[in-house]
Structure 1
Amino acid sequence: MKLYQVRKGQFVYYNNELHKVYGVKPMYKLSIHLIKLRDLSQHITSAASIEKYIPKENDSFIFDHKVYTLRQNQRPSAGDFILINNPAPDTLDHYSLNEIEVVETVDNKGVVTSDLDGIRHSEYLLMAPGRAPDSHPIDYKDMAGIDENYDDAGPQIIHPYAELSTQIGDIYKKKDNDMLIEAMVIAIKGHTIYLGGGYEVPHDELMNTDQWEFQYNPFNNGQS
């Protein structure tokens, strides 16, 4: 893709796997910040290394280690995930393209999510649990050479820390702070991540892109 074509929220393929764009920084060579949907790990790359994909009804993919199928005309229940593929937010709403939110309540007009967004039924696709037999898997752009058991997300994670998507050496920048903080992952114990400078954070917090942003890993020469 060209840099001017990239927008926050787009689904894209990077290194053959499905990701979502969560940030674009045009002034940098590696200007595209991505989240791999399979395990929510963060990655950075260039616009030339990604290819856009528009999710649609009956697509299926792994999100945070669990498989879902997108459904158009199936009403959600409280606790279900939805993919906001056709956003038309009102003035006080804060959602945008392809955000994934959890449903709190449902009525005839739409849903209210855990982020207190009111979303019309025409704006989202339901993420129904499981990979439906009639679905179109979109986890990989090219399925050639992919293990037929790829629904088991575990073997696809390229680090030795069980289901965590963080590696020793990853450098993160804290976003929700007036002071510039960049720190390297120096140790991992269970679901607790230890950063240089004495920071100790839960893995879920480190993966929250509103709080921490992955920068790079100096030991990962294959990163691009």
Structure 2
Amino acid sequence: MKLYQVRKGQFVFYKNELHKVYSVKPMFRQSVHLYRLKDMEQILTRAADIELYRPKHNDTFIFYGQRYTIDQYKKPEPGDYILITKPAPDLFDHYSLNEIEKVEEVHENSVTTTKDNGVKHHEYVMLVPGKSEASQEIAYYDKELVPEEQRLKDESISYLAEKDVTLQPYVGDIYLDKRNNTKAMVVAVTESEVTFGHGIHVHIAELLDEESFELIYRYSTD
């Protein structure tokens, strides 16, 4: 489905791979800014060059070197990831279409994420690690065009560490958390997540979203 009105957060196919729209700037010729979901590589393009995809139950895709499958029926537990497909944030919440967040607490009518967002149960679907036999591949528009060696590499965190060595966060780095208008220091880093001093936990991939975070100090051991 070709797009005539591009929205932030939409899943789209570009050059056979799944991307997400993170910014639209109509004044520019290449007005659509994308992230490639498998590794968060940034792309500038036009609406005419992308094709809309609406994620659904049992779809499977790669998010920053790890594969997940959408499950609209499974109930989350703390530590699980969710995909927000029907965002209706309250006044003090900050999330939008197709954001991926980690669950910190589960309540009767909602979950609280590690970004301090309260997301109601009808607003999201679960992201279950791995894939099932019945799942539908959406990491690629046509997976037959992608060599098996490349498909295996795309699901490798170690490959990303080598590829994005200059972008890897370190304990001591300071970022501007634009949503909370707060300067925060990185106090812990795991394979895929960062913990800030003001208590927020985010996926490493989110640090590349220029509308949410800005690196203002790089800690160096040199």
When normalised by structure 1's length, the TM-score is: 0.71
Counterparts in 2 of 1:110 and 1:156: CA distance versus 1, 3 Å? closer
Query: Deviation at 1:162?
Result: 2.3
* Partner Cα separation in structure 2 for residue 160 and residue 112 of structure 1: 29
| Aligned-residue offset at 1:161 | 7.3
Contact 1:16-1:140 within 8 A present in 2 as well: yes
Whether contact under 8 Å (2:40, 2:205) holds in the other structure is no
The one-letter amino acid paired with 1:135 is S
Q: CA deviation at 1:77?
A: 1.4
Tell me, yes or no, if structure 1 residue 117 matches structure 2 residue 151: no
The answer to whether 1:5 aligns with 2:5 is yes
Unaligned runs of 5+ residues in structure 2 are 168-174, 179-203, 216-222
Query: How many residues are aligned here?
Result: 180
Amino acid corresponding to residue 211 of structure 1 in structure 2: F
State the SS of the aligned residue for 1:152. Answer: helix
More helix by share: 2
1:67 touches 1:151 (CA, 8 Å); kept in 2?
A: no
Q: 115-124 or 57-66, which moves further after superposition?
A: 115-124
Counterparts in 2 of 1:31 and 1:11: CA distance versus 1, 3 Å? same
SS class of match (1:111): strand
Deviation at 1:165, TM superposition (A): 8.1
Q: Which amino acid aligns with 1:24?
A: V
Residue 166 of structure 1, CA deviation: 7.1
Letter in 1 for 2:208: M
Kindly state the Cα deviation for residue 36 of structure 1 after the two structures are TM-superposed: 0.6
Q: Which residue of 2 aligns with 1:60?
A: 60
Spell out, residue by residue over 1:107-133, the C-alpha distance to the aligned partner (whole angstroms, 9 max, x if none).
221100011111111110100000111
Gap regions ≥5 residues in structure 1: 168-173, 178-202, 214-224
Counterpart residue number, 2:100: 100
- State, as a whole percentage, how many aligned pairs show the same letter: 46
In 2 relative to 1, CA 212–92 (structure 1 residues): closer, same or farther, beyond 3 Å? Answer: closer
Report 1:1-224 matches (<5 A): 1-2=2-3, 4-148=4-148, 151-154=151-154, 162-164=162-164, 207-209=208-210, 210-211=212-213
Distance 1:160 1:117 in 2: 28
Superposition deviation, residue 175 in structure 1? 9.0
RMSD of aligned Cα (Å)? 3.0
Pair 1:48–1:26, CA change in 2 (3 A): same
Q: CA deviation at 1:98?
A: 0.5
* 1:40–1:207 Cα contact (<8 Å) kept: yes
Letter of the 1:110 partner, please give it.
S
AA paired with 1:73? Answer: Y
Aligned twin of 2:201: none
Which 4+ residue blocks in structure 1 deviate beyond 3 angstroms? 148-151, 153-157, 174-177, 203-206
Going from structure 1 to structure 2, the CA distance change for 1:48 and 1:205 (only over 3 Å counts) comes to: closer
**In the alignment, residue 62 of structure 1 is paired with which amino acid?**
I
Q: What per-residue deviation string (whole Å, max 9, x for no partner) do you get for residues 73-116 of structure 1?
A: 11111111100001111222221110111110012211000111
